[in-house]
Chains A and B, each alone.
Chain A
Amino acid sequence: MQETKVEQKLAKPVSRKTGPSYLVVFIVLAVLTGLEIVVSQLPIPRAPILIPMAFIKVALVALFYMHLRTDRRLFAMIFVIGVLVGITLILTFAVLFSTQTGGV
């Protein structure tokens, strides 16, 4: 009886394609990239706009193309921890070296 249940579970197809279609995600990514290019040419502080836009694009790719939105939470946790440690590393070094001057 238990074996039958397991086999039924194995045979059950996983529907990955939920929410917006891949094409819609691509269009959003392309539009955001276009906007980033436009913003980069404007005489305004760009980092506060461009960095969040890049993070939105990264999130779209991870959630929809890498299926973290519908896949196991464990995979998302592992990846997000890696990314967060990476961001911490970048920020820490940026702050540590921000007071130093000179170059090679």
Chain B
Amino acid sequence: MANDWLIKVPFYGKWSMKVIGKNADFKQRVVIEESLSSDGFVDGVVGQSVPAIDGPKWLVFIESSGNNGTSWNASRTKRVPGVISPDGLVVTLFSDDVVTGGSDSDFNDLIVQFVYLNPEVNPPGVPPYNFTVPPESFRPTLPPDKPKCRCECTCRKDKRPRRKCNC
């Protein structure tokens, strides 16, 4: 890959969206394009969400404004897929403001998480059982008990068995 960042990030199918982090002084917003019915802007404020965005292929990009919304610049964005419980497949976008004079490449100015709502890929799960024991329950393997009496058979010269025991 030439770059590990994008401007416009493609999504396919139905996803939910939520802004989960902001570490920027500038105003931020999320832009959705080419979706079936969710195109538009979402304020880059933690907690802002869209319950479902759908479409065969739609695009997301993040913008920042250094003049309180008068004009907007597209941010550089890293797409980081992952798996979380209980949601399953998620994609998190980490944006980096591009401002006059360059960017700081911190990729944390706005953090937006998308959860895939495709029930085939992310079917509802069941909470797993907690297989834990207190730390003191882990003990070294005990040596096997010494047998009280160990017997073995040998053969006499006349081929009749002879029983020999070590107790």
Do the two chains belong together in a single complex?
A: no
- Which residues of A are interface residues toward B (Cβ below 8 A)? none
